[in-house]
Chain A
Amino acid sequence: MPALERQLDVLQRFCHGDVDAFEALFRQHQGEVYRWILRIVRDSAIAEDLTVETFWRIHRAHARFDPTRSFEAWARRIATNAALDHLKSAPQESELPDDLPQSTLPDPGISQELRQKTAYAFGRLPPKLRIAATLALIEEQPYKEIAEALGISTQAVKLRVFRAVRLLRKYLRQQGIEP
């Protein structure tokens, strides 16, 4: 059976609740879903937990999936929602996670204190704005991809990024920094 037909067969079996098909899809997409969630939550252990949570939601919603559409895009949308739910329920970040390295090419004009204050201010942003700003400004993902994952228009993503930047500047000013 050609690869394309085999993939469609797996997706159709998944729609009918076949656990073997679900396992095949899980093994095929777990890495990509993990990477996407990691971009949002920035913590590998949480990203692993949320990957399982995402596939649990995928499994429960199997009957609603249209096998003619992209499984990757659908999974990414569910993963984004799971990550957003996590950010809403988690306490706001006061400092960077331990396993997050600094930039590979640090700018000598930006002090460590300024970096910490920026990270703190960024952690205070509302989750919906933080996700859009993280994906667009830090991870540099295409706006179209972010829009699909968030289930909103490209214009709405741009608006969220704009609002995030404006709010970030306000928080930085409150800390005595003029960005």
Chain B
Amino acid sequence: MTPGNEDRIKHLLKQSISPTSIQPRAVLQRDLWTAMRHRLDEGSATVPWFDWALLAAVAVCLVLFPRAIPVLLYHL
């Protein structure tokens, strides 16, 4: 592919899809901190999947080996 061909494609692209710098909303119109704060609060409330997996594993162990309950309570 020659540089001339690439230039033609580039020109065609720029005619079809204009750069964002000329878009009316190229600049952020509002402060997103409120949305970010909301996301942080949501995130801190959720329990990671690994914790749920660990809890499930412990529950299965306790069902299969009930004698382990006093040992677990001792270590808590």
Q: Which residues of A contact B (CB under 8 A)?
A: 19, 23, 26-27, 30-31, 34-35, 38-39, 42, 44, 48, 51-52, 55-56, 59-60, 96, 99-104, 106-107, 110, 114-116, 118-119, 122, 133-134, 137-140, 162, 165-166, 168-169, 179
Contacts and interface: CB of A to CB of B under 8 A. Distances in A.
Contacts of B17: 42, 96, 100, 118-119, 122, 134, 138
B27 A35 contact: yes
Interface string B23-59: 1111111111101100110010000000000000000
Contacts of B24: 99, 101
A38 B40 contact: no
- The contact size tier of chain B is 20 to 34
Contact of A179 (B9, B18, B26, B33): B9
Given A56-B36, A107-B11, A168-B9, A139 B20 contact: yes
